[in-house]
Chain A
Amino acid sequence: MAKEKLLLLKNIREANYKGDLDSYRKTGGFTALEKVLSAMKPEEVVEAVKDSGLRGRGGAGFPTGVKWGFMPKGTGKPAYLVCNADEAEPGTFKDHLLINEDPFLFLEGMIMGCYAIACHHGYIYIRGESIKSAEHLQRAIDSLYKEGLLGKNIFNSGYDLEMTLHRGAGAYICGEETALLESLEGKRGQPRVKPPFPAVSGYNACPTTVNNVETLANLPFIINEGAEAFKALGTPNNSGTHLVSISGHINQPGVYEVEMGVTIRELIDDYAEGVRDGKKLKALIPGGASSNVLTADEIDIPYDFDSLMKAGTMMGSAALMVFDEDTDIVELAYRTIRFFNHESCGQCTPCREGTNWLKHMIRDFMDDNGNGPMLERVDRVAEGMIGTTLCPFGDAAGAPIRIFVAKYAADFRNHFAQ
């Protein structure tokens, strides 16, 4: 196996690391926080993160420092930092590794993030199904309160911070930041109209930033080692390392920490030890179910935001799903659209009706009842969902289906009615 570049998983990869507060402290934990609270102004933290080029790891890849910079000052309203730990994208399981194995790394990052945007009450929104992780995280938060690392006057700096863990009710769409905020406010979880963006009117109509778990977990390194050290990793405009969840027909599925820019082929062959049972690769979904599929010929590209964008897909939450030569793409398309149909919040017309209609049609292909006009219709119905909905869900559901049809039409033709 190729060697991982360890920033985030440094502790976790230690054989005897227990993940409690004491062991985190022994590895040098909270030195960054102490440095931030005692010697840095909030703006300096924002600048450091801007300089590091850190991009959000939740899916959109938006520069974190720039996002923080959007937070208006002097509004008279409290500012909020909400950590998105919903992690519901099919194929993604990196955030839960951090939460379960090394929660204090990301909590330290979160406290620094709160400090940077002058937030005095942070929220962590964790998906409803993750009961064990939520309990674990709550224990971690409790121990921080006990140690005086949360609450009033942290490190005698005069900075106060409360932190609340909120469990969602198990809806994929609540990973979309405005739906998450609706849900956090106790409402039905469905995306809001933008603008106003959360930075202007987010949680309880106050300025709010929503950051992913992994994004925040990068902060201790950036503060300790400096923005330049972080920038030195990865490729230009895609700095740092990132966690890749590799799953599917692969010999060693799991989370791998690699520098941005390692190629997809390297990830599959060198890190995850190749396709299972020595079979050939047929298809690869690079960034969770909502990213467009790549064929076996298209994987010699660096695995970073920009390269994948250029290849017509996206890195999303870095969830690599590998499919071998025996995979029936129609089945894969059906599983994908069934998921999106089940998870659509239902408020926008194209997504509500389109996902259901697509599901029915692809089901027909599964039953060997397809035909040419129906295949065209699948493409047409999927196309109508792209770019016409309130949130990116329509794109996320429609685009992969279109690409499945475009790249693997033969698989669909195999299911034409005889």
Chain B
Amino acid sequence: MTKSELIARLAAANPHLYHRDVERIVTTVFEEITAALARRDRVELRGFGAFSVKERGARQGRNPRTGESVDVTSKYVPYFKTGKQLRERLNVPE
């Protein structure tokens, strides 16, 4: 499912809304999560999961082509932990 399919499914389930509004809803939600993570805030969606930002420390890397060692500065990476309810849902016996 892509973002446009997600919009299409949400629109189909909510026929009283304009397609363009459903599009804005989806964009707004992901933009809000992105903005929170950019502030290094945590986004906790009970039952679904939680997004957070983890720091990766500086390290000594190596240029794979030349074998030369380079300094890699620390950086932040987004991390998602699946919520309990969703985790259980993925594992219900069919």
Q: Do A and B come from one complex?
A: no
Residues in chain B within 8 A of chain A (CB atoms): none
